[in-house]
């Protein structure tokens, strides 16, 4: 059995995060020692490793909850897990496209900057007026003022 600190160290997760995962139901409540200290077994370690790896891959907590629910029923079809992973892939591809556009725009701004005074700075000018950008690199959820 591992204490919460040792579990966190082993999984590379901070103690408050483990407590939060328990609070929102991603991790079951830990057993308690006679001194009321949380104690975790191998299954908790495996579940926390699953959550950590899922977060590293960018899955939302809701998607992780769904994936954990699926993993708790190993006899069922993996179609739902595949759908969740495909949805995450689409999101990653969208982010990559936005990041590529951002990179191109930043390179363009830097190359156009003559290195003179701020009054003539192309970087400041472009940041102040989105219409000067070569591409629309805004996040889809960004509100645009009319």
Say if 19 falls within a structural domain: yes
Burial profile 102-122: b = 16 or more Cβ within 10 angstroms, e = fewer:
eeebeebbeeeeeeeeeeebb
Flag whether 46 is in a domain: yes
Specify whether 123 is located in the same domain as 82.
yes
Instruction: Flag whether pLDDT at 144 surpasses 50.
Output: no
CA dihedral over 121, 122, 125, 128, signed as positive or negative: negative
Domain membership of residue 70 (yes or no) is no
Answer for the pair 22, 29: CB distance below 8 angstroms, yes or no: yes
Residue with tokens 């390179």: 107
- Residue 146, pLDDT > 50, answer no
**57 & 83 share domain:** no
pLDDT at 143: 47
Q: Does residue 46 sit in the same domain as residue 88?
A: no
Rounded to the nearest integer, the mean pLDDT of the chain is 87
C-alpha to C-alpha distance for 26 and 64, rounded to whole angstroms: 8
Domain match, 85 and 119 both: yes
- Structural domain that includes position 102: 78-132
- Say if residue 75's pLDDT is above 70: yes
d(C-alpha 131, C-alpha 6), whole Å: 52
Phi, psi of 49 (to 5 degrees): -65, -40
More confident residue, 20 or 120: 20
Residue 56 lies in a domain: yes
Is 51 contained in some domain?
yes
Q: Is residue 138 part of a domain?
A: no
Q: At what angle do helices 79-112 and 61-71 cross, to 10 degrees?
A: 150
Q: How many domains does the chain have?
A: 2
Whether residue 118 is predicted with pLDDT greater than 80 in this model: the reply is: no
The conformation of residue 117, written as its DSSP 8-state character, comes to -
**Per-residue model confidence as pLDDT tens digits over 20-54:** 999 999 999 888 988 888 999 999 999 999 999 99
**Residue 8: which CATH number?**
1.10.1660.10
Q: Please report whether residue 87 resides in a domain.
A: yes
Q: Are residue 115 and residue 83 in the same domain, yes or no?
A: yes
Residue 69 domain-assigned? no
Task: Mark out the alpha helices in 1-146 (DSSP H runs).
Answer: 4-11, 15-23, 42-56, 61-71, 79-112, 122-128
């Amino acid at each position: 059995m591992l204490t919460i600190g040792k579990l966190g160290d082993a999984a590379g997760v901070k103690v408050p995060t483990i407590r939060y995962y328990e609070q929102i139901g991603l991790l079951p409540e830990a057993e308690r020692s006679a001194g009321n200290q949380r104690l975790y077994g191998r299954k908790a370690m495996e579940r926390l490793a699953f959550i950590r790896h899922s977060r590293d891959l960018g899955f939302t907590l809701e998607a992780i909850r769904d994936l954990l629910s699926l993993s708790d029923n190993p006899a069922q079809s993996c179609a739902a897990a595949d759908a969740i992973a495909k949805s995450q892939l689409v999101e990653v591809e969208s982010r990559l496209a936005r990041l590529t556009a951002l990179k191109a725009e930043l390179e363009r701004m830097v190359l156009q900057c003559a290195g003179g005074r701020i009054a003539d700075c192309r970087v400041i000018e472009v940041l102040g007026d989105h219409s000067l950008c070569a591409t629309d690199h805004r996040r889809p959820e960004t509100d645009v003022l009319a």
